[in-house]
Amino acid sequence: MARGSTKQLITDAAVRVAAQHGISGASMDQIAEAAGVAKGSLYYNFASKDALFEQVIRDGFERLGDAIDAARDQVDPAEAPRAVAAATLETLRGNLDLAKLMASEVFRTDRPWAEAMELARSSVVVRFRDVLRDARASRGEGPASAAEASRAAEEITETAGAAFFGALAGACLDWLLFRPEQPVERVLDQVLRAI
């Protein structure tokens, strides 16, 4: 089996085991067993459990960032907030265990991978901020001149991006865990109405 495939088996298993036992309760033995690989393969691919979960978190945010970029590139800027929100919900729905893990770790500052988490989270937050900025600038709301519209869009900060991301992540977990029968369009309507 190729090393890339083994790494993927391991990271997928790590997510499943952490979903059951939490990261602190997940052992390398459990992860190896769940991945169907020898424990030595874990340490060949990852120096430690911390390195493994740092990779899991990075991969999750990278996957989310890629989905945001793809959705944003396919629509007019005014329609991008809804398209990006839909892509975010679908990406998180595609791997609920990873979504729960990311949500539980996003504000933890006591983990060895806290710096990597912050960089990954920030890259997603900036994407959401930029989607909101572009949508505002494209609608030409408020200010009469293009320069004023541009300045108004620049007033949208990373805090707004974080709020958008947080609203989506919270709504997604609420939806998938407690209201899975609710159609995704209704979830989108509710989140976008709230922000």
Please report which confidence band the pLDDT of residue 1 belongs to, taking 50, 70 and 90 as the band edges.
Answer: very low
Give the domain CATH number at 81.
1.10.357.10
Pair (35, 104) in one structural domain = no
Measure Cα distances from 186 to 37, 40, 131, 173, 174 in Å. 42, 47, 21, 14, 13
Alpha carbon distance 134, 97 (integer Å): 32
Say how far apart CA 39 and CA 124 lie, in whole Å. Answer: 33
Judge whether 164 and 195 are in contact, CB under 8 Å: yes
Both 185 and 101 in one domain: the answer is: yes
Residues 81 and 122 in one domain: yes
Q: Which amino acid is at 143?
A: P
Q: What is the pLDDT of residue 4?
A: 58
Asked if 32 and 82 sit in the same domain, the reply is: no
Question: Do 103 and 187 belong to one domain?
Answer: yes
Domain count for the chain, please give it. 2
Query: Do both 20 and 107 map to the same domain?
Result: no
State the average pLDDT over residues 33-55.
94
- Return the C-alpha torsion angle 195, 140, 90, 33, nearest 10: -80
Same domain, 61 and 78: yes
149-192 pLDDT, tens digit per residue, is: 667 778 899 999 999 999 999 999 899 989 999 999 999 999 99
Tell me the residue range of the domain where 14 lies: 1-47
**CATH code assigned at 38:** 1.10.10.60
Same domain, 68 and 130: yes
122 with 170, same domain: the answer is: yes
**Residues 6 or more apart from 86 whose CB is under 8 A from it?**
71, 184, 188
Distances (CA, A) of 94 to 50, 111, 131, 156, 173: 24, 26, 22, 30, 12
pLDDT of 69-127, one tens digit each? 999 999 999 999 999 999 999 999 998 898 888 888 877 888 888 888 888 889 999 99
pLDDT band with cut points at 50, 70 and 90 for residue 138:
confident
User: Do residue 76 and residue 30 come from a single domain?
Assistant: no
For residue 36, how far is the Cα from the chain centroid?
27
Convert the pLDDT of each residue in 36-45 to its tens digit: 999 999 999 9
33 and 82, same domain (yes or no): no
**Which whole-number Å values give the CA distances from 125 to 30, 32, 117, 188, in the listed order?**
33, 33, 12, 18
Is the same domain home to 97 and 121? yes
